[in-house]
Amino acid sequence: LLTLDGATPDLDAVEVRTTGTLRHSPVYDTDLRLGTLLVMGAYEMGTTFSPLSNARASITVLDVPPADPEQYLAGIIVTGKFQAAGRYKRAWVRLSEDALAASTVLKLASPATGWRRGDRLFLQGGHFPDEDWLAGTETAVVKSVAADGLLVELEAPLRFDHRGLRQYRCAVGNLTRNVAIRSANPRGNRGHVMFTGPASVELQGVELFGLGRTTAAALHPQGNHIGRYPLHLHHLNDWPA
């Protein structure tokens, strides 16, 4: 058993062998920074029964090109047991009133449980069925949350109107999690995550950011391999009891 209790230097690769366990500390903020992570044993960033509540934990895939022809490297490949669970946070709520441009306050229909100062939000644009559903969408940052969770103050004024009626009020999603897997440079060489074969996977409250290399362009063995996705559950078998 090896417990990570801080940020690592940039590493080429880490292999967790079948009898090994690599665990992120539940007390200290941690960041494993590497080109490739291969897990054949066990990897733990909190569990569904004991999520990470008091620390931040992340895996950062570095901006390095995959060195193998099939481009499995430069990412995370798991055939063992992988557990990751962060602090509980309500994923999204609806507005209780329209939020208009220049406002810095959101009034919510349900409590924003677990939301905190600094969290990054996504606001749905107010639109009608025949309009572009992406029009008027925007992101915002939380400045404060009321004790009852029904009012959120923003760091900066909104740029667009977010209008709706009754059950069709605009939705507000929270994009921030304290457990994350990310690419160091989403505009460069992006990482990917693959769970395959006998892998056992538990993910709860985990942020995946800037990952995935496969695009909608024509597949090509030198530049656009199939299956290098942000999250790929590939032909998983049942984990033995």
pLDDT tens-digit profile of 36-60? 999 999 999 999 999 999 999 999 9
Tokens in use for 119? Answer: 């969290």
Residue 194 contacts residue 214 (beta carbons within 8 Å): no
Of the candidates 202, 174, 5, the residue with the CA atom closest to the CA atom of residue 88: 174
141-182 pLDDT per residue, tens: 999 999 999 999 999 999 999 988 777 899 999 999 999 999
Please, which residues have CB within 8 angstroms of residue 143's CB and are 6 or more apart in sequence?
A: 104, 117, 153, 154, 155
Is it the case that residue 88 has pLDDT exceeding 70?
A: yes
Taking alpha carbons only, the member of 51, 37, 59 closest to residue 83 is: 51
Given a cut of 60, whether residue 229 has pLDDT beyond it is yes
For 167, phi and psi rounded to 5 degrees?
Answer: -70, -5
Q: pLDDT-derived band of residue 241, with 50, 70 and 90 as boundaries?
A: very low
The average pLDDT across 181-209 equals 96
Residue 167's SS3 state is helix
- The helix (H) or strand (E) run that includes residue 96 is none
DSSP SS3 for 151 = strand
